[in-house]
């Protein structure tokens, strides 16, 4: 069997492995047990037993009359009780695509882009240059915790800049959004993510939480007596957003820690402008660790799904992020999630998203779910080439663009 054949894509449904699924969904139906009483007689007299209680007995004729009445009663119940109740219980978006539509779109995108060789692995962090450029995985996690995956879904890659979203969220949990906005801000820089010029030029100096300077400042806001305490708090928080414990990829951390003179320079510049709120180099170190957290593509999609689900993890049911913080996070993602590629992304795709130089991108579809793609080769701005193409394709096929009225079910003529 050739290696290629062995690695052939497989659509995996994890529905039955997810034991913590809550609420309604495409696959969750419960039948009310109505069963025949074993004491039924030959002349057609029998009974129907619901929940252990015999509610009907008689001849075939009587049975029909009672059945008609029951039918009418059921209609009344359905109209006045079941309708409003099921609307209350509905947890999925009424305009979410069906599972079959999502599966078809993901399969098509996978086939269309799997042989795309554009872009290049990041190499300024030496160990990232060694990651297999052909790795390619896609995952969708919905707000009712359905999981669709395809391709290389077990590979654990470094989360890199995608971490910045979740440290921003943690800082807001601790300090509230107003403080974070005041101390870091949320303006696009129009420059590369590690730009020194942006720090010098911008009135706030920090730009936003997703460029390196703003991200290091954000980390410096997170409370903790020691750097270790901050780091452990960050790692634990990311794990709660993902719904499972995450780990540091030590070799990525060491590789970046040995080469991150640029980020140290940024931290010193922030200190010059009083825009860093803890020890600068210590903050860079915690930041470097947070970028080295390993995730696979399904874990990343679930982190996005937590944002889509108003801060509540769809697998564990834990409210990890306050709902009122979600719009601040998603607006930052649309404005700066793909750095100086964010304007083009908003134009073409229209989904809040975040990229990392490890090759991951996660895009959030509010109220519906998230799609994550992992493929290491990057474009000039540092965004995965294949991940952008896949998400754009799937978003178009499924009408997900948040700026399009079609995304909420309003179709044109
Ligand atoms: N750790 C990386 C850095 O600081 C993150 C950059 C990124 O993913 N864009 O440069």
Report the largest interatomic distance among the alpha carbons of the chain, rounded to a whole angstrom: 95
Q: Which of 119, 123, 125 to mutate to test the pocket of ligand 1 (most atoms within 8 A of CB)?
A: 125
* Distance in Å, CA 358 to ligand 1 centroid: 8
DSSP labels for 129-143? GGS-TT--EEEEEET
* Distance in Å, CA 15 to ligand 1 centroid: 34
Residue 26 has pLDDT above 60, yes or no: no
With 0-12 CB in 10 A as exposed, 13-18 as middle and 19+ as buried, what is 191?
A: middle
Predicted pLDDT of residue 181: 98
Q: Which residues line ligand 1 (CB under 6 A)?
A: 160-161, 193-194, 212, 256, 263, 291, 356-357, 382
Q: Which of 124, 159, 194, 259 to mutate to test the pocket of ligand 1 (most atoms within 8 A of CB)?
A: 194
81: DSSP letter: I
Give CA–CA dist 200/178, Å, rounded: 23
Predicted pLDDT of residue 411: 83
* Distance in Å, CA 357 to ligand 1 centroid: 6
pLDDT single digits (tens) 166-175? 999 999 999 9
336: DSSP letter: H
Report, in this order, helix, strand and coil percent for the chain, each rounded to 5: 50, 15, 40
Predicted pLDDT of residue 91: 58
Residue 46 has pLDDT above 80, yes or no: no
With 0-12 CB in 10 A as exposed, 13-18 as middle and 19+ as buried, what is 113?
A: buried
Predicted pLDDT of residue 41: 32
Q: State if pTM tops 0.85.
A: no
* Distance in Å, CA 161 to ligand 1 centroid: 5
Atom of ligand 1 nearest to the CA of 161: 8
What phi and psi values does residue 92 have, to the nearest 5 degrees? -95, 155
With 0-12 CB in 10 A as exposed, 13-18 as middle and 19+ as buried, what is 257?
A: middle
- Residues facing 48 on adjacent strands: 36, 56
Q: Whose CA is nearest to atom 2 of ligand 1?
A: 160
- Nearest by Cα to 37 from 53, 60, 15, 18: 53
Predicted pLDDT of residue 43: 33
pLDDT single digits (tens) 283-324? 999 999 999 999 999 999 999 999 999 999 999 999 999 999
* Distance in Å, CA 143 to ligand 1 centroid: 28
Atom of ligand 1 nearest to the CA of 356: 8
Give CA–CA dist 175/170, Å, rounded: 9
H helix intervals, 292-401: 297-308, 326-336, 342-348, 385-397
pLDDT single digits (tens) 49-69? 322 222 233 344 445 554 556
Provide the token pair at 91.
């947890």
Q: Which of 217, 258, 291 to mutate to test the pocket of ligand 1 (most atoms within 8 A of CB)?
A: 291
Predicted pLDDT of residue 358: 98
- For residue 148, give the H/E element and its range: strand 147-151
* Distance in Å, CA 288 to ligand 1 centroid: 8
Between 99 and 52, the more confident residue is: 99
Q: Are strands 247-248 and 157-158 parallel, antiparallel or unpaired?
A: unpaired
pLDDT single digits (tens) 184-197? 999 999 999 999 99
25: DSSP letter: -
Give CA–CA dist 182/121, Å, rounded: 35
Q: Which residues contact 315 (CB under 8 A, 6 or more apart)?
A: 18, 20, 21, 145, 243, 302
Atom of ligand 1 nearest to the CA of 160: 8
Percent of the chain with pLDDT over 90: 75
Atom of ligand 1 nearest to the CA of 212: 4
Predicted pLDDT of residue 23: 30
Residue 231 has pLDDT above 70, yes or no: yes
* Distance in Å, CA 121 to ligand 1 centroid: 13
* Distance in Å, CA 291 to ligand 1 centroid: 7
Q: Whose CA is nearest to atom 4 of ligand 1?
A: 212
* Distance in Å, CA 223 to ligand 1 centroid: 22
Give CA–CA dist 311/13, Å, rounded: 24
Domains of the chain from N-terminus onward: 34-89 (no CATH), 99-408 (3.40.710.10)
Cβ distance 276 to 212 under 8 Å?
no
Q: Whose CA is nearest to atom 6 of ligand 1?
A: 161
Under the banding of pLDDT at 50, 70 and 90, the label for residue 36 is very low
Residue 20 has pLDDT above 90, yes or no: no
* Distance in Å, CA 253 to ligand 1 centroid: 11
Q: Which of 160, 257, 359 to mutate to test the pocket of ligand 1 (most atoms within 8 A of CB)?
A: 160
Please give the distance of CA 40 from its chain centroid, rounded to a whole number.
54
């Amino acid at each position: 069997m050739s290696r290629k054949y062995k690695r052939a894509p497989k659509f995996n449904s994890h529905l039955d492995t997810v034991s913590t699924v809550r609420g309604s969904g495409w696959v969750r139906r419960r039948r009310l047990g109505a069963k025949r009483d074993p004491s039924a007689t030959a002349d057609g007299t029998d009974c129907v037993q619901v929940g252990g209680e015999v509610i009907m007995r008689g001849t075939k004729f009587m049975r029909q009359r009672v059945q008609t009445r029951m039918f009418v009663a059921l209609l009344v119940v359905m109209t006045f009780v079941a309708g409003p109740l099921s609307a209350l219980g509905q947890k999925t978006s009424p305009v979410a695509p069906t599972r079959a539509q999502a599966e078809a779109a993901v399969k098509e995108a996978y086939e269309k882009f799997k042989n795309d060789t554009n872009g290049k692995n990041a190499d300024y962090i030496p160990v990232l240059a060694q990651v297999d450029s052909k790795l390619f995985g896609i995952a969708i996690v919905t707000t009712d915790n359905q999981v669709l995956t395809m391709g290389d879904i077990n590979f654990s890659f470094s989360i890199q800049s995608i971490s910045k979203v979740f440290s921003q969220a943690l800082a807001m949990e601790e300090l509230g959004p107003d403080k974070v906005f005041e101390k870091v801000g949320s303006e696009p820089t129009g420059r590369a993510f590690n730009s020194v010029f942006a720090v010098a030029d911008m009135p706030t100096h920090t730009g936003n939480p997703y460029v390196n300077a703003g991200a290091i400042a954000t980390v410096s806001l997170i409370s903790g007596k020691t750097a270790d305490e901050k780091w452990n708090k960050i790692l634990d928080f990311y794990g709660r957003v993902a719904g499972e414990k995450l780990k540091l990829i030590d070799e990525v951390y060491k590789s970046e820690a040995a080469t991150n003179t640029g980020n140290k320079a940024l931290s010193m510049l922030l200190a010059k402008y009083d825009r860093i709120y803890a020890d600068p180099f210590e903050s860079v170190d915690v930041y470097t660790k947070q970028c080295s957290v390993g995730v696979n593509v399904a874990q990343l999609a679930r982190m996005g799904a937590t944002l889509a689900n108003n801060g509540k993890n769809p697998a564990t049911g834990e409210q990890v992020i306050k709902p009122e913080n979600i719009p601040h996070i998603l607006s930052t993602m649309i404005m700066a999630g793909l750095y100086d590629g964010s304007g083009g992304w908003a134009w073409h795709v229209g989904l809040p998203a975040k990229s990392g130089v490890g090759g991951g991108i996660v895009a959030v579809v509010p109220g519906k779910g998230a799609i994550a793609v992992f493929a290491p080769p990057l474009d000039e701005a540092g965004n995965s080439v294949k991940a952008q193409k896949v998400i754009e394709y799937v978003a178009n096929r499924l009408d997900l663009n948040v700026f399009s009225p079609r995304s909420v079910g309003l179709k044109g003529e």
